[in-house]
Amino acid sequence: MKNDRSALALFLTFLKIGAFTFGGGYAMIPLIQKETVESKKWISDDDILEIVAVAESTPGPIAVNAATFVGCRVRGVPGAIAATFGVVLPSFTIISLISLALREFESLRPVRCAFFGIRAGVLALLVKALVSMASKCRRGAIPVLIALGAFILAGLLGANVIPVLIGCAAVGLANSLITAKRRETK
């Protein structure tokens, strides 16, 4: 149901997200957006951008943080608990079961090929999430320079992402403050 904002609805939605998404938190972002914004209409596109930004900058896995923030936004603390538990339960269960058998099968060629295919699929999901989020972000030279600088520093030069995130936040905040001051003086 679209308008069901119960803790059970949050739990079941994030259980589905957690069960059918491979590749970690970034691969879950498109599915979280589809379920919470498009299907359930619990939050808006702007909300999802804010939630992803906060989830990326807080400690812990992005999917767990995003589920917690969505749950809290939709239903408060009970919603946060339900969504978080829902998104974590499938991974916990699957990893527990796989860890029991993986040692026996990891050297088999079909298993290695399957993991290669899963990684390729995850890359496609990450690119989709990047394109989707980029299309909803503000346009302008400063945001592009921030993104490009962060990519060069973290992706190409291997810089620690924490100082890069702090630097990006500082530049973005400074840009917002300067833009707001310019508007006031006009």
113 and 164 part of one domain: no
Residue 2 lies in a domain: no
Domain span holding position 33: 7-137
Span 97-109, pLDDT tens digits = 877 777 777 788 8
pLDDT at position 3: 67
Residue 90 lies in a domain: yes
Q: How many CA atoms lie within 13 A of 152 on its CB side?
A: 7
Per DSSP, the three-state class of 40 is coil
125 and 143 part of one domain: no
156 and 130 part of one domain: no
pTM for the complete prediction?
0.56
Query: Which positions of the chain have pLDDT values less than 50?
Result: 1
167 and 105 part of one domain: no
How many domains is the chain built from?
A: 2
Span 64-88, pLDDT tens digits = 888 999 999 999 999 999 999 999 9
pLDDT at position 2: 57
- Asked if 66 contacts 72 with a C-beta cutoff of 8 angstroms, the reply is no
Rounded CA-CA distance 47/168 in Å is 20
pLDDT at position 107: 80
Sequence-separated contacts (24+) of 86-91 with Cβ below 8 Å: 86/10, 86/11, 86/12, 86/13, 86/14, 86/15, 86/17, 86/18, 87/14, 87/15, 87/17, 87/18, 87/28, 87/63, 88/18, 88/64, 89/15, 89/18, 90/15, 90/18, 90/19, 91/18
123 and 148 part of one domain: no
Residue 1 lies in a domain: no
Which of 105, 121, 137 is the last residue before a domain boundary? 137
105 and 147 part of one domain: no
pLDDT at position 63: 84
Residue 60 lies in a domain: yes
